[in-house]
Amino acid sequence: MPRRKIPTEALVDLQRRLGLHPPRCAERRALIQETAHFYGVSEDTVYRALRNRTPVQSAHRTVQ
């Protein structure tokens, strides 16, 4: 059975939307459940993907 992967853009958007709610809000759980159902994965997979996502690094410029 092939592993399903949640796109990075979806994880970034989900992380942003989760940040709008307090930590133990029922809305956060609903967002996780919706995402899991949409991508056909378990809730644990969504939490794991959020935890293992590497943050985007900004480009650094050198001053000359």
pLDDT tens, position by position, 7-35? 999 999 999 999 999 999 999 999 999 99
| pLDDT tens for each residue of 44-54 | 999 999 999 87
Q: Residue 19 has what DSSP assignment?
A: T
Measured CA to CA, the distance from residue 39 to residue 24 in angstroms comes to 23
The whole-model pTM stands at 0.77
Match 């307090």 to its residue by tokens.
22
Q: Burial letters for 1-40: b for 16+ Cβ neighbours within 10 Å, e otherwise? A: eeeeebeeeebeebeeebeeeeeeeeebeebbeebbeebe
